[in-house]
Amino acid sequence: MINKRLIARLDIKGPNLIKGIQLEGLRKLGDPQVFADRYYAQGVDELLYIDIVASLYGRSKLTEIVRRAARDVFVPMTVGGGVRTVDDVKELLRAGADKVAINTAAVARPDLIREVAQRFGSQCMVLSVEAKQQAPGQWEVYTDCGRERSGLDVIEWVQRGIELGAGEILVTSIDKEGSRSGFDIGLTRAVAAVADVPIIASGGYGIPSHVKDVVNVGADAVAVADALHYNRITLPALRQSMREMDIPVRKVNV
């Protein structure tokens, strides 16, 4: 069985790591490099950096943060926020990113997904989907870090993104983000039903059993933020809990 991945999510505003609830009410936590170093030492499988204001201001501040991280952190890094062109992707990859997550620009111009996949490979193109429930079994895609409605149905958009070349789907539940109440199981199940590429579930982690719940409906990886940032759990402890729940994870010596 394929190992499930533990990903530390780092939301960035300017030079700072921040954390909010439902992508709002932001609190500064400090230098993201300090946190990245900690998670790397604890055996994290991947890092996910998201510039949460890049789409608003039309620019990303992540290049230098990623370049700095790449000197000391040797796990895959996915970077998103403010990525609008193939050249933006090229710059982030040169800085040390392994994959690029795109949401707002892909909604505005879906062909960008194909262009990135053809130039750098589907494994590099992560479709980032910010989802908000509108009715039972129905979710809408939001852009600009959860601020703007797109009118797109999440499931239809995921299908189209995969057809265009997305090699992975990052699904962030706006409703669950920062709630510590568990991942959106219905959302993940619905996405998994139409996706033949890996799915990262983000938003809602509270306790280890939440990981089992979302893995059981199709998640290939989970992105955890505030539980790690606030030291409510360490990565070795979470990895051990997953083993005890019979969830396959990578063996790590820390």
What CATH number has the domain bearing residue 163? 3.20.20.70
Number of independent structural domains in the chain = 1
Residue with the larger pLDDT of the pair 15 and 123: 123
In a domain, 249, yes or no: no
Question: What percent of the chain stands above pLDDT 70?
Answer: 94
Question: Average pLDDT for residues 33-57, to the nearest whole number?
Answer: 90
> Whole-angstrom Cα distance, residue 234 to residue 204?
17
Does residue 228 form part of some domain? yes
Per-residue pLDDT, averaged over 74-89, amounts to: 95
Please give the angle made by the CA atoms of 127, 210 and 193, to the nearest 5 degrees.
45
Identify the band that residue 1 occupies on the pLDDT scale cut at 50, 70 and 90.
confident
In a domain, 251, yes or no: no
Between CA 60 and CA 52 the distance in angstroms is 9
Q: Could you list the active site residues?
A: 11, 130
Look at the block and give the residue holding tokens 């505030």.
226
Q: What is the pLDDT of residue 7?
A: 98
Please report the pLDDT score of residue 56 as a whole number.
56
The stretch 26-49 carries a mean pLDDT of 95
Q: Tell me if 213 is assigned to some domain.
A: yes
Q: Is 204 helix (H, G, I), strand (E, B) or coil?
A: coil
Q: Does residue 207 fall inside a structural domain?
A: yes
pLDDT bracket for residue 231 (50, 70, 90): very high
Whole-number pLDDT of residue 40: 98
Query: Per the domain annotation, does 191 fall within a domain?
Result: yes
End-to-end CA distance of the chain: 23
Q: For residues 7 and 109, what is the distance between their CA atoms, to the nearest angstrom? A: 28
Tokens matching residue 194:
């139409």
User: What average pLDDT score do residues 173-179 get?
Assistant: 92
What's the pLDDT band for 55 if we cut at 50, 70, 90? low
Give the domain extent around 115.
5-244
Region 145-152: mean pLDDT is 91
pLDDT at residue 24 is higher than 70: no
- Whether 250 maps to a domain, the answer reads no
Strands 77-80 and 46-51 turn out to be parallel
Q: Please check whether residue 51 lies inside any domain of the structure.
A: yes
Which position has the higher pLDDT, 15 or 183? 183
